[in-house]
Amino acid sequence: MKFAITRDVSPRIGNCELAHLERAPIDLGRARQQHDAYCGALSELGWTIIRLPASPDLPDSVFVEDTTVVTDEAAILTNPGATSRRPEIAPVAEVLEKFRKTAVVRPPATLDGGDVFFLGRDVWVGVGVRTNEQAVEVLRATLQPYGFAVRAAQPHGCLHLKSAVTRAGPDCLIVNPNWIEPRNFSGWRIIEVDPQEPFAANVLWLGEVTLAAEAYPRTRDRLEAHGLKCRTIDMSELAKAEGGLTCCSILFDA
Please, what is the end-to-end C-alpha distance for the chain in angstroms?
5
Q: Can you tell me the distance from the alpha carbon of 25 to that of 140, in angstroms, rounded to the nearest whole number?
A: 40
Q: Can you tell me the distance from the alpha carbon of 3 to that of 99, in angstroms, rounded to the nearest whole number?
A: 10
Residue 146: name the closest of 115, 186, 88, 100 by CA. Answer: 100
The residues near 202 (Cβ < 8 Å, ≥ 6 apart) are 162, 163, 166, 213, 244, 245, 246, 247
- The catalytic residue among 16, 158, 172, 247 is 247
CB contact at 8 A, 245 and 209: no
Q: Which helix (H) or strand (E) holds 211?
A: strand 210-213
CB contact at 8 A, 53 and 95: no
CB contact at 8 A, 47 and 2: yes
Active site residue 35: no
- Cα 159 to Cα 20, 47, 95, 123, 242: the distances in Å are 7, 27, 27, 18, 8
Active site residue 39: no
HSE-up (13 A, CA, CB side) for residue 180: 35
- The catalytic residue among 160, 172, 230, 248 is 160
Q: Which residues are marked as active site?
A: 160, 247
